[in-house]
């Protein structure tokens, strides 16, 4: 939802009403995860996605229908079947989509808060005619009037209450959802809630105002990261060189980390190629529990750095956690390609990805086919 605020604000400034569709449950393989949002203005314009493009048109029609009758409903989209599903997902998966006639003010406020460093979760009671948790065809019912959502913070404390307070299990799901950045459907006490996780914007802190850093800031911002560049050399850390960075600090790493309160939600890329900057930055980032710490340098440089990091007091396990040489092996050498490799590894670390080619993963999951035909034995 956060990335759609600009479109939402623009449509509202034109005086248009805006409804939305949001994925609340996924069965099997689907292009978009739970929490993916499609906004639809009353003039038919769309922004966002609930699939890879195969059900957007149908979902938009349902949003416009919801705007006409003022009712929310959950619609199941799955493999095409003339007697059941109306729209098919090319990937073979099935999704349940909550369609709402309007975007609640609490949702917009929570999305704005998450963009400024305050993780939120929107807890929405789902209509009673929700499709069953067992995979199968489902025709949407008449729906119901939209229920007021509850908003909770990262600790699970209620920020915005609704007439129907969320059960403790749903508030706990909010806490864990924000921490993991995952939305999900929760059923408790005969009712269903959708926990829409809106974690704080992820942050990438780069030590060393190098040419790779200039590209790294661009790529990281494009995938939604807040960016911070740290360098104690004023000639390197200039606004002219880094016009797109969110924050530029002329300081030593330990001072900068204290100023920005570096912590477990942050990724740190150390790119200065200078031990007097690199190694104190690595030590401090590890001690502060940064979720990702990577550093440039050849394998030989990494080996000698390892010895010095151990001498500085880090444990073997802590040193092993440092990604060095930094980035995935994309084979690139240009600064832009190096930046892409670093961001790819940062995202993989945050999302639990392996960095392996997806086609290899899919191939490994395929059942063994029949043996190829050959000449008959003599």
Q: What is the CATH number of the domain that holds 229?
A: 3.40.50.720
- Shared domain for 122 and 187, answered yes or no, is yes
Q: Given CA atoms 292, 243, 181, 137 in this order, what sign does their dihedral have?
A: negative
- Shared domain for 228 and 320, answered yes or no, is yes
CA distances from 327 to 114, 221, 292, 294 (A): 27, 17, 11, 8
What gap in Å lies between CA 322 and CA 215, rounded to an integer?
22
Q: Is 90's pLDDT higher than 90?
A: no
What gap in Å lies between CA 202 and CA 348, rounded to an integer?
13
Is 313 inside any structural domain?
yes
Question: What range defines the domain where residue 127 resides?
Answer: 2-9+16-198
Is 364 inside any structural domain?
no
What gap in Å lies between CA 116 and CA 63, rounded to an integer?
29
Q: What is the pTM of this model?
A: 0.76
- Shared domain for 172 and 284, answered yes or no, is no
Return the half-sphere exposure (C-beta side, CA atoms, 13 A cut-off) of residue 310: 9
pLDDT for 2-12, tens place per residue? 899 999 999 99
Q: Is 297's pLDDT higher than 80?
A: yes
Is 356 inside any structural domain?
no
- Shared domain for 219 and 167, answered yes or no, is no
Angle at CA 222, nearest 5°, toward 296 and 347?
Answer: 50
pLDDT value for 247: 96
- How crowded is residue 144: how many other Cβ atoms within 10 Å of its Cβ? 15
DSSP label at residue 323: B
Instruction: Tell me the pLDDT band of 117, cut-offs 50, 70 and 90.
Output: confident
- Shared domain for 183 and 262, answered yes or no, is no
Q: Which residues contact 324 (CB under 8 A, 6 or more apart)?
A: 294, 295, 296, 297, 302, 305
- Strand 191-198 versus strand 184-188 pairing type: antiparallel
Is 361 inside any structural domain?
no
Q: Which of 12-16, 55-59, 220-224 is most confident? A: 12-16
pLDDT for 265-279, tens place per residue? 899 999 988 888 899
pLDDT value for 91: 58
Q: Which of 160, 181, 198 is the last residue before a domain boundary?
A: 198
- Shared domain for 104 and 237, answered yes or no, is no
- Shared domain for 193 and 52, answered yes or no, is yes
- Shared domain for 122 and 142, answered yes or no, is yes
Is 366 inside any structural domain?
no
Mean per-residue pLDDT for 37-52?
94
What gap in Å lies between CA 5 and CA 201, rounded to an integer?
14
- Shared domain for 97 and 69, answered yes or no, is yes
What pairs with residue 67 in β-bridges?
A: none
Is 375 inside any structural domain?
no
Q: Which of 198, 222, 253 is the last residue before a domain boundary?
A: 198
pLDDT for 304-313, tens place per residue? 889 999 999 9
Number of domains forming the structure of the chain: 2
- Shared domain for 31 and 149, answered yes or no, is yes
CB 332 within 8 A of CB 340: yes
- Shared domain for 208 and 193, answered yes or no, is no
Is 378 inside any structural domain?
no
- Shared domain for 223 and 116, answered yes or no, is no
Instruction: Tell me the pLDDT band of 106, cut-offs 50, 70 and 90.
Output: very high
Is 370 inside any structural domain?
no
Q: Which of 198, 227, 246 is the last residue before a domain boundary?
A: 198
Instruction: Tell me the pLDDT band of 371, cut-offs 50, 70 and 90.
Output: very low
């Amino acid at each position: 939802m956060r990335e759609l605020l600009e479109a939402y604000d623009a449509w509202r400034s034109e005086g248009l009403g805006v409804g939305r569709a949001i994925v609340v449950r996924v069965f099997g393989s689907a292009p978009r995860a739970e929490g993916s949002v499609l906004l639809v203005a009353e003039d038919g314009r769309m922004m966002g996605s609930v699939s890879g493009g195969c059900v957007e048109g149908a979902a938009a029609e349902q949003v416009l229908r919801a705007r006409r009758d003022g009712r929310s409903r959950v619609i199941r989209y799955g493999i095409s079947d003339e007697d059941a599903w109306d729209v098919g997902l090319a990937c073979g998966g099935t999704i349940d989509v909550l369609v709402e006639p309007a975007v609640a003010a609490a949702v917009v406020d929570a999305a704005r808060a998450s963009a400024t460093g305050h993780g939120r979760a929107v807890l929405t009671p789902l209509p009673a005619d929700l499709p069953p948790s067992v995979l199968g065809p489902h025709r949407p019912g008449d729906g119901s009037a939209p229920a007021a959502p509850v908003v909770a913070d990262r600790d699970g404390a209620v920020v915005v209450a609704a007439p129907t307070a969320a059960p403790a299990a749903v508030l706990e799901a909010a806490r864990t959802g924000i921490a993991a950045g995952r939305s999900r459907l929760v059923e408790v006490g005969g009712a269903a809630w959708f926990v829409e996780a809106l974690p704080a914007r992820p942050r990438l802190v780069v030590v060393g105002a190098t040419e790779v850093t200039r590209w790294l800031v661009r790529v990281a911002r494009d995938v939604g990261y807040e960016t911070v560049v740290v360098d104690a050399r004023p000639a390197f850390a200039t606004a002219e060189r880094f016009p797109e960075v969110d924050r530029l600090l002329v300081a030593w790493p330990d001072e900068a980390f204290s100023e920005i309160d570096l912590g477990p939600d942050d990724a740190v890329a150390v790119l200065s190629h200078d031990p007097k900057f690199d190694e104190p930055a690595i030590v401090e980032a590890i001690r502060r529990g940064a979720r990702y710490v990577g550093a440039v340098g050849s394998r030989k440089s990494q080996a000698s750095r390892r010895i010095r990091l151990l001498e500085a007091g880090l444990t073997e396990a802590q040193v092993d956690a440092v990604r060095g040489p930094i980035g995935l092996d994309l084979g690139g050498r240009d600064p832009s390609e190096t930046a892409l490799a670093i961001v790819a590894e940062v995202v993989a670390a945050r999302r639990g990805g392996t960095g392996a080619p997806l086609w290899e993963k899919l191939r490994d999951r395929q059942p063994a086919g029949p043996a190829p035909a050959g000449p008959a034995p003599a």
